[in-house]
């Protein structure tokens, strides 16, 4: 049974539906669950050469969860709603544009759907908008329509810029499935006392996700894009006392339902000037940047592809919500998301995976939640994630209660882990877990398992981002562990320390694996001092290093410069800029990188002028910002398509308006005519002199600009930019579509390779059973009998177990209601009856 927990059973179901193995299974009458356990049993025993001794250490508990009073004082739903002022002072500016003009926004698969269909996007540039103000200002029912009092249908994608806010209050917002109405926010989005859902405009009805076929569930590009809401960069998402349903799909960029993505630029800045611009200027921290990126209080979030997903998000407060029936995960903060406060929620019934999963370097606190009936684990820490997991009720989950997979240093304290369909608490390839004060009762696996597992068969694992070690250890102290089907504590190569626990096993031998023969010692001695049983393994990381090609690039460009290629000065500058210290490019103005770029800009290189302008845009000084606009204008005058595009974006996404751009163009024309391309006073420390350019092409390029200006019939410089970027954006979008298709193929190739491998293992396991292998027959028959017996045990203990947790369940539901407004409060009696019927009465 120990091998049942390595992968979700859904991986198995996917390829069974598409292979001959399924027919064999039906003929042989083998449970897919048991088949998976049998073939995994032969694969997971680690093969470690020269293993070292692994001894658990007891973590010092230095963190605490915030008190209920502290949280209510700051995050009362009524106060949060009252604090939002619907009337915003200042100008309200929005744009309606062809969607390809914002090709850099990560709508990913949606672009494949929208391509050449004339889809428009609404961009909120400045000011605070209500839904009614948005509807009236757009004045186009094909983009946003009003169906009744406070009922609106958004029929186009929406981008909320840095300096804009949208408030959805006391309303119903329908997001059209066709052509698609995802919402992306780098400003602020408030959803208060409202309902947001996916809408079928053809049939005028709510469009639930419905059943997703197995192939579409795993492979990218297979599901049709559905509307979603995601905060990007420093965007703020505030959702209080609302219902969110039917959003999201499996996509390449945070398209899963509700989400937040810091959108960090993974590329080196010298490889993409546009990415450099997006990742620096658009991410400028705001005055309220210390506030959490996401606040979700008192909502019902159900039937989405995922309830919530994040990537690199700094801070999220999630209190008093009900996450139910979301398709994959109910709650999935991911990839370097930090500072999460996740308390007093219900996470129930995730169809395909876990209730709560922190994955890849994610950290936070998970406390006082109810995690029940999820297909996978109730709570999982995955891929070097860490949390204080305290006071949760973990009930009836499909794979198990609490999982630590390749995640060190987790604290699991004072939880009630009961009647889960596999382990209670599972520690795999994770060091120094502290498991204390928990009640771990009647789980179908071991109460606690600490194991070292060889996961090299996971060919889809990214060893650049997801290293792991073959070593596990846990300190197990003052828990009540009883009645678990596979024993109370089990170890497979893992190191454990057992101290002052209470045991009451269903088996004569309460301990399994490496602890099986130590039962008398543990039971006799653990009250006096910790019984330490060292494990075996290797603590060093199994990983891959991303090769650094920067030195080779630098040598290549320096060689080109020596041979007379002056264009090499620009990449040399960016390479050096990237190597210099500083959190922003503006902090590197005195470095060699900027000096190289400056030298090339003086010579009239339009890309260097653009680069210098982008760097200055990250600065706070008014004078530097003004110079940035002039440099970008010079780049545009001299033919840089990227300069034109950046200048076009600035009024949409920043406080810079079109008048400032007009003034910058006038100054740029004077400089090009005079030959002085930079402000010598501003750069006097970097320049020994401010040479006058001798490039004879400058005035020729200026004449070409003026000619094109008149040919396009432009009324202003900004109008010229808007018209002249058409070719640039068209080509950029075509290139993006190619990249999206390539990424889909690359990602899917990993899964397909793994599915093919696993299908072969299933075929071999089935053949072994059909050949009447003694080992196989014994395994299947024994497990069938154990499962039947276990179901009888659960049935007989149902009332007693329910009475044990009923006070805690009632208390938790009442506490959750404190974070919900009157109309959203849960019926306590109805909820208790629901949990009884679903997790106890049916056993």
Q: What is the pLDDT of residue 7?
A: 34
**Residue the block writes with tokens 């393994």:** 537
- Percentage of the chain modeled with pLDDT above 70: 90
Per-position DSSP letters for 453-521, written without gaps between them: ---TT-TT--TTT--EEE--EEEEES-EEE--TT-SEEEEB-EEEEES-EEE-SSSS-EEETTGGGHHH
Q: What is the pLDDT of residues 743-792, one digit of tens each?
A: 999 889 888 888 888 788 888 888 887 888 888 778 888 888 888 888 89
Q: Are 71 and 152 in contact (CB under 8 A)?
A: no
42 pLDDT higher than 70 = no
pLDDT classification of 23: cutoffs 50, 70, 90? very low
Q: What is the pLDDT of residues 62-82, one digit of tens each?
A: 899 999 999 999 999 999 999
Q: How many CA atoms lie within 13 A of 352 on its CB side?
A: 23
Q: What is the pLDDT of residues 522-568, one digit of tens each?
A: 999 999 999 999 999 999 999 988 888 888 888 999 999 999 999 99
45 C-beta neighbours (distance < 10 Å), count: 13
pLDDT classification of 272: cutoffs 50, 70, 90? low
Query: Could you say which DSSP state residue 29 is in?
Result: T
Q: Are 574 and 600 in contact (CB under 8 A)?
A: no
* 553 token code pair: 């690039």
Q: What is the pLDDT of residue 9?
A: 33
- Percentage of the chain modeled with pLDDT above 90: 65
Which among 254, 251, 317, 306 is positioned nearest to 77, based on CA atoms? 317
Question: Of 15-29, 181-195, 321-335, 423-437, which range is least confident?
Answer: 15-29
pLDDT classification of 28: cutoffs 50, 70, 90? very low
Q: What is the pLDDT of residue 579?
A: 82
Q: What is the pLDDT of residue 43?
A: 62
Question: Of 399-403, 428-432, 506-510, which range is least confident?
Answer: 506-510
810 C-beta neighbours (distance < 10 Å), count: 15
Q: How far is Cα 295 from Cα 418, in angstroms, rounded to an integer?
A: 30
Q: What is the pLDDT of residue 843?
A: 53
200 pLDDT higher than 90 = yes
Q: Are 423 and 398 in contact (CB under 8 A)?
A: no
Residue 7's SS3 state is: coil
Which among 367, 380, 357, 270 is positioned nearest to 310, based on CA atoms? 357
Q: Are 801 and 418 in contact (CB under 8 A)?
A: yes
What is the helix (H) or strand (E) element at residue 699, kind and residue range? helix 697-711
Helices (H) then strands (E): counts for the chain:
22, 45
Orientation angle between helical segments 569-579 and 606-617, nearest 10 degrees? 20
Which among 410, 403, 261 is positioned nearest to 334, based on CA atoms? 261
Which among 396, 392, 343, 338 is positioned nearest to 370, based on CA atoms? 392
**Residue the block writes with tokens 């996916």:** 198
Q: How far is Cα 122 from Cα 183, in angstroms, rounded to an integer?
A: 10
pLDDT classification of 488: cutoffs 50, 70, 90? very high
Q: What is the pLDDT of residues 612-668, one digit of tens each?
A: 998 888 887 889 889 999 999 999 999 999 999 999 999 988 888 999 999 999 999
**Bridge partners, 441 (sequence order):** 418, 482
Q: How far is Cα 437 from Cα 395, in angstroms, rounded to an integer?
A: 17
Total residue length of the chain: 843
- For 23, 34, 363, 769, the CA distances from 27, given in Å and listed in that order, are 6, 15, 47, 11
- For 568, 632, 697, 706, 711, the CA distances from 638, given in Å and listed in that order, are 19, 10, 9, 11, 17
Per-position DSSP letters for 74-128, written without gaps between them: HH-HHHHHHT--S---S--EEEEEEGGGGTTS--THHHHHHTTTT-EEEEEEEEE
What is the helix (H) or strand (E) element at residue 277, kind and residue range? helix 273-280
Average of pLDDT values for 376-384? Answer: 97
Q: What is the pLDDT of residue 266?
A: 54
CATH top class, domain 81-277+291-321+328-343: mainly beta
More confident residue, 148 or 348: 348
Which among 357, 342, 340 is positioned nearest to 392, based on CA atoms? 342
Most confident of 269-278, 571-580, 799-808: 799-808
Average of pLDDT values for 808-822? Answer: 98
Average of pLDDT values for 474-498? Answer: 95
Q: What is the pLDDT of residue 44?
A: 66
Q: What is the pLDDT of residue 806?
A: 97
739 pLDDT higher than 80 = yes
Q: Are 122 and 144 in contact (CB under 8 A)?
A: yes
* 564 token code pair: 């007379």
Q: What is the pLDDT of residue 505?
A: 62
Q: What is the pLDDT of residue 675?
A: 80
Q: How far is Cα 577 from Cα 221, in angstroms, rounded to an integer?
A: 37
Q: What is the pLDDT of residue 585?
A: 72
Q: What is the pLDDT of residues 550-561, one digit of tens each?
A: 888 889 999 999
**Residue the block writes with tokens 């010598």:** 680
What is the helix (H) or strand (E) element at residue 15, kind and residue range? helix 9-16
Q: Are 585 and 618 in contact (CB under 8 A)?
A: yes
Domain boundaries, the chain: 81-277+291-321+328-343, 550-724, 778-843
Q: What is the pLDDT of residue 39?
A: 72
- For 382, 512, 771, 780, 781, the CA distances from 774, given in Å and listed in that order, are 37, 23, 9, 10, 11
Residue 173's SS3 state is: strand
Residue 407's SS3 state is: coil
Per-position DSSP letters for 618-684, written without gaps between them: T---HHHHHHHHHHHHHHHHTT-HHHHHHHHHHHHHSS--HHHHHHHHHHHHHHHHHT--S-TTTTT
Largest CA distance in the chain: 94
More confident residue, 820 or 508: 820
Q: Mean pLDDT, the chain, as a whole number? A: 88
Average of pLDDT values for 32-58? Answer: 79
pLDDT classification of 29: cutoffs 50, 70, 90? low
Q: Please give the model's pTM, rounded to 2 decimal places.
A: 0.92
Question: What is the separation, in whole angstroms, between the first and last Cα of the chain?
Answer: 21
11 pLDDT higher than 50 = no
Q: How far is Cα 28 from Cα 22, in angstroms, rounded to an integer?
A: 10
Question: Of 35-39, 266-270, 491-495, which range is least confident?
Answer: 266-270
Could you check whether the bond before residue 179 is cis, i.e. omega within 30 degrees of 0?
Answer: yes
More confident residue, 457 or 510: 510
Q: How far is Cα 242 from Cα 190, in angstroms, rounded to an integer?
A: 10
Q: What is the pLDDT of residue 16?
A: 33
Burial label, 117 (beta-carbon count in 10 A; 0-12, 13-18, 19+): exposed
- The secondary structure of the chain in percent helix, strand, coil, rounded to multiples of 5, reads 40, 25, 35
Question: Of 34-38, 93-97, 163-167, 347-351, which range is least confident?
Answer: 34-38
């Amino acid at each position: 049974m120990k091998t049942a927990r390595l992968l979700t059973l859904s991986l198995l179901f996917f390829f069974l539906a598409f292979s001959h193995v399924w027919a064999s299974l039906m003929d042989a009458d083998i449970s897919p669950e048991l088949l998976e356990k049998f073939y995994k049993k032969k694969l997971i025993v680690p093969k470690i050469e020269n293993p070292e001794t692994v001894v658990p250490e007891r973590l010092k508990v230095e963190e605490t969860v915030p008190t209920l009073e502290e949280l209510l004082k700051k995050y009362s739903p009524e106060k949060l709603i009252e604090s939002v002022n619907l009337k915003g002072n200042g100008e309200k500016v929005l744009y309606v544009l062809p969607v390809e003009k914002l090709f850099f926004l990560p709508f990913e698969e949606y672009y494949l759907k929208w391509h050449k269909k004339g889809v428009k996007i609404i961009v909120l540039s400045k000011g605070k908008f209500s839904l009614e103000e948005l509807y009236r200002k757009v004045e186009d029912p094909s983009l946003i329509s009003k169906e009744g009092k406070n009922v609106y249908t958004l029929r186009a994608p929406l981008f909320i810029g840095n300096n804009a806010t949208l408030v959805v209050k006391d309303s119903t917002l329908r997001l059209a499935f066709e052509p698609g109405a995802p919402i992306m926010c780098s400003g602020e989005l408030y959803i208060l006392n409202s309902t947001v859902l996916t809408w079928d405009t053809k049939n005028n009805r709510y469009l639930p996700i419905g059943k997703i076929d197995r192939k579409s569930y795993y492979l990218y590009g297979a599901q049709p894009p559905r509307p979603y809401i995601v905060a990007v960069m420093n965007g703020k998402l505030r959702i209080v006392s609302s219902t969110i349903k039917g959003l999201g799909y499996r996509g390449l960029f945070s398209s899963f339902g509700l989400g937040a993505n810091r959108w960090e630029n993974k590329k080196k800045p010298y490889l993409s000037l546009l990415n450099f611009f997006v990742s620096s200027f658009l991410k400028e921290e705001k005055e309220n940047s210390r506030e959490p990126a996401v606040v979700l209080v008192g909502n019902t979030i159900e039937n989405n592809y995922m309830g919530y997903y994040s990537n690199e998000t700094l801070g999220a407060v999630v209190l008093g919500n009900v996450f139910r029936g979301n398709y994959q995960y109910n709650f999935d903060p991911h990839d370097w998301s930090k500072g999460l406060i996740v308390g007093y929620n219900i996470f129930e019934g995730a169809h395909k995976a876990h209730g709560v999963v922190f994955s890849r370097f994610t950290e936070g606190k998970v406390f006082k939640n109810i995690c029940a009936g999820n297909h996978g684990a109730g709570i999982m820490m995955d891929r070097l994630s860490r949390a204080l997991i305290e006071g949760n009720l973990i009930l009836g989950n499909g794979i198990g209660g609490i999982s630590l997979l390749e995640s060190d240093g987790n604290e699991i304290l004072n939880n009630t882990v009961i009647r889960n369909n596999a382990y209670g608490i599972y520690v795999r390839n994770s060091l120094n877990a502290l498991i204390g004060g928990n009640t771990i009762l009647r789980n179908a696996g071991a109460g606690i398992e600490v194991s070292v597992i060889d996961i090299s068969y996971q060919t889809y694992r990214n060893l650049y981002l997801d290293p792991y070690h073959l070593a596990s250890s846990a300190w197990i102290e003052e828990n009540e562990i009883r009645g678990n089907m596979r024993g109370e504590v089990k170890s497979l190569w893992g190191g454990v320390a057992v101290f002052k626990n209470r045991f009451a096993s269903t088996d004569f031998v309460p301990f399994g694996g490496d602890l099986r023969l130590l039962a008398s010692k543990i039971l006799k001695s653990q009250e006096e001092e910790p019984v330490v049983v060292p494990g075996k393994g290797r603590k060093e990381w199994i990983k891959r290093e991303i090769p650094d090609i920067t030195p080779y690039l630098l040598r290549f460009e320096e060689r080109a410069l020596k041979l007379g290629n002056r264009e090499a000065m620009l990449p040399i500058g960016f390479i050096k800029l990237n190597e210099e210290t500083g959190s922003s490019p503006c902090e590197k103005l005195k470095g060699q990188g900027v000096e190289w770029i400056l030298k090339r800009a003086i010579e009239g290189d339009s890309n260097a002028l653009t680069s210098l302008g982008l760097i200055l845009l990250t600065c706070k000084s008014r004078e530097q910002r003004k110079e940035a606009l002039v440099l970008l204008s010079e780049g545009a005058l001299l033919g840089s398509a990227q300069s034109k595009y950046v200048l076009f974006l600035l009024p949409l996404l920043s406080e810079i308006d079109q008048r400032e751009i007009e003034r910058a163009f006038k100054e740029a024309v004077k400089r090009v005519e005079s030959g002085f391309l930079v402000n010598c006073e501003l750069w006097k420390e970097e320049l020994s002199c401010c040479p006058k350019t001798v490039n004879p092409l400058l005035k020729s390029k200026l004449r070409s600009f003026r000619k094109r200006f008149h040919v396009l019939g432009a009324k202003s410089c900004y109008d010229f930019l808007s018209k002249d970027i058409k070719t640039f954006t068209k080509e950029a979008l075509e290139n993006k579509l190619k990249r999206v298709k390539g990424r889909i193929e690359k990602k899917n190739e990993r899964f397909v390779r793994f599915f093919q491998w696993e299908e072969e293992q299933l075929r071999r396991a089935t053949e072994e059973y059909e050949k009447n292998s003694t080992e196989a027959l014994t395994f299947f028959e024994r497990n069938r009998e154990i499962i039947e017996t276990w179901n009888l045990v659960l049935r007989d203990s149902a009332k007693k177990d329910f009475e044990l947790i009923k006070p805690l369940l009632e208390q938790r539901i009442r506490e959750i209601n404190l974070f919900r407004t009157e109309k959203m409060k849960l019926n306590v009696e109805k909820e208790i009856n629901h949990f009884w019927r679903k997790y106890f009465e049916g056993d």
